[in-house]
Structure 1
Amino acid sequence: MLESKLDENQGIITLYPGDELREADFEYVTRLADEFLEKGGEIKGVIINARDFPGWESFNAMLTHFRFIRDYHEKIPKVALVTDSVVGKVGEKLADHFVAAKLRHFPFDDLKDAQQWIVEGKGTQQR
């Protein structure tokens, strides 16, 4: 299950993956983002906060995740991977080639730095 929180004041969607990611998780995040954008909101960034990457429940769940990235990478300027998983470091390097959003990795305990980077453009690591 993927817990999703939208901070409308900051324009940040924070995702907390718990178990394996499901199709329904990304369908919900898509609705959350669409409704906020339709109301005139601006999404400044997405934070993915998980000590470890839980993987996907199914192949369809992975495809739904990739569709979300494809559809929103130009609408969301920053993505912070707040994780101790190797996926954070690898994802940061791969993102340069596939997405328009700036992607930055932060250690799991640096959630506040990630929020600050999204809102103010500051953080502990620069890319």
Structure 2
Amino acid sequence: MIDHNWHRGHRILEVRPLGPLTEDDFQSLEAQVDPVISERGPLTGLLVDAQNFAGWESFAALVSHCRFVRDHHKHIRRIAVVSDLPLLGYMPRLVDHFVSAEVRPFSSVDYQPALAWLAEAG
């Protein structure tokens, strides 16, 4: 399941994976995100709270995740990844080749600075 929360008048989306991700998770998230993007335009930011990231339930779920990223990355200006997992600290360098958004890692104690960075004009 992916829990989500909107900040700053639906300009910043926070997502929090709760358990292994499934295909249905991305369909549900898409149903929440697409109407907002259609009505209001691109998102200022996406905050990924990956503290409890447990991977994907299946290869099909990973493919659904990749499709979601492919279809939405151009509609997001910045992505903040909040996690203390060392591997996720390297994520910005890995995903820079695949997304147009600026991506930055933050530790769990820097949740508020991550949210503030997403809200900055730029």
Same fold (TM over 0.5): yes
**Equivalent pair of 2:84/2:108 in contact (CA under 8 Å):** yes
Other structure's SS at 1:98 match = coil
- Correspondences of 1:1-127 after superposition (within 5 Å): 1-7=1-7, 9=9, 11-120=11-120
Note the C-alpha offset of 1:50: 2.5
Q: Deviations over 1:55-84 (max 9, x none)?
A: 001111100000011111111111110001
Deviation of residue 7 (structure 1)?
Answer: 2.6
The share of aligned pairs that are identical, in percent, is 33
Aligned residue for 1:57, secondary structure, equals coil
Please give the root-mean-square deviation of Cα atoms over the aligned residues, in Å. 1.7
3-state SS in 2 of match to 1:81: strand
Q: Offset of 1:6 from its aligned partner?
A: 2.0
Alignment TM-score, normalising by the size of structure 2: 0.90
SS of residue matched to 2:56: coil
Structure 2: gaps (5+ residues): none
Please, which moves more after superposition, 44-53 or 5-14?
A: 5-14
Q: CA deviation at 1:91?
A: 0.9
Give the number of the structure whose residues are more often helix, by fraction: 2
Q: How many residues align?
A: 122
After the TM superposition, list the runs of 4 or more consecutive aligned residues in structure 1 that deviate by more than 3 angstroms: none
| Aligned equivalents of 1:52, 1:121: Cα separation in 2 | 29
